[in-house]
Amino acid sequence: PVPVTVRCRWGAAAAAHPVAQRLLAIRDAKRSNLCVAADLCDAADIMRLCEQIGPLICVLKVHADTVDNWTAETASALRAAADRHNFLLFEDRKFADIGHTVVCQASGGVHRIVAWADLINAHGIPGRGVVDGLRQACQASGRAVGLLLVAQMSSKGNLIDSAYTERCLAMAREARDLCIGFIAQERLDDTGELLVMTPGVQLAAGGDALGQQYNTPADVIGCRGADFIIVGRGIYGATDPCQAARAYQAAGWAALTDASSR
């Protein structure tokens, strides 16, 4: 297809960070602001999903610590799939400890996250030490990695209030060399330079039995101003994940381009 320059309210402003630039370039080239949460327990199932939906997504999010048979080969296979299909890898570890500990969690252990992930995330609760520790781990890896701060959550009754979210915003502004945006439920930063990825998305609003709350792509992108949708069970739980991914890609993109031209 003819490349489209998305008249995006925010994307154009985004970020000197190389990972943010790559993310936006992939989004525009693939016309996809869809991040799929591949929350499957078997590495082979994740790889199969990657092959099915790889061309449709801009980010694949994983929880490496929930994969029963994770090995170094899983990381290499994911990396190869991401490079082949042109999407970013996001490890949703949600670091939330003192700086010294997150250095080890991000670079060591079984998962060696900063050796393969393009995007990582962290809670702001420990204070700036968590960001400083992650910066150290990323620098030591020699790879470009972008950080998203968890400034809001999708789960019912979560303890985050608006003052906490504001402080996450301030933390992100002070760490622009590493932090490219947020996991949040709405746009937080009017400059448009900090991106928002939103989980808790399905084609119909609702929830699950354990407190997850779902809003639609039109709502989170069109009304609340997010940039990217994160969808898990709505896609990998569907009878035909590829068809479901197409539907979410179309809905996410329509909401973004519609929002951008307003």
Q: Which residues are annotated as a binding site for substrate?
A: 39, 61, 154, 212, 232-233
- Contact between 217 and ligand 5BU by CB under 6 A: the answer reads no
Q: Which of 42, 68, 92, 258 is catalytic?
A: 92
Beta strands 213-214; 206-207: pairing state: antiparallel
Q: Which is nearer to ligand 5BU, 183 or 255 (CB)?
A: 183
How many positions of this chain bind ligand 5BU (CB under 6 A)?
16
Choosing from 24, 230, 251, 256, the residue that interacts with ligand 5BU (CB under 6 A) is 230
Instruction: Please indicate whether residue 92 is annotated as part of the active site.
Output: yes
| Interface positions, 194-213, toward ligand 5BU (CB under 6 A) | 199-200, 212
Instruction: Lay out the site mask for ligand 5BU across 84-113 (x = CB under 6 A, - = otherwise).
Output: --------x---------------------
The residue within the footprint of ligand 5BU, chosen from 149, 183, 188, 259 (CB under 6 A), is: 183
Contact between 39 and ligand 5BU per CB under 6 A: yes
Q: How near is the Cβ of 123 to ligand 5BU at its closest, in Å?
A: 9
Site string for ligand 5BU, 144-163 (x = CB under 6 A): ------x--xxx--------
Q: CA 185, CA 87: separation in Å to the nearest integer?
A: 22
Residues that bind ligand 5BU (CB under 6 A): 37, 39, 92, 150, 153-155, 183, 199-200, 212, 230-234
Instruction: Return the active site residues.
Output: 92, 94, 97
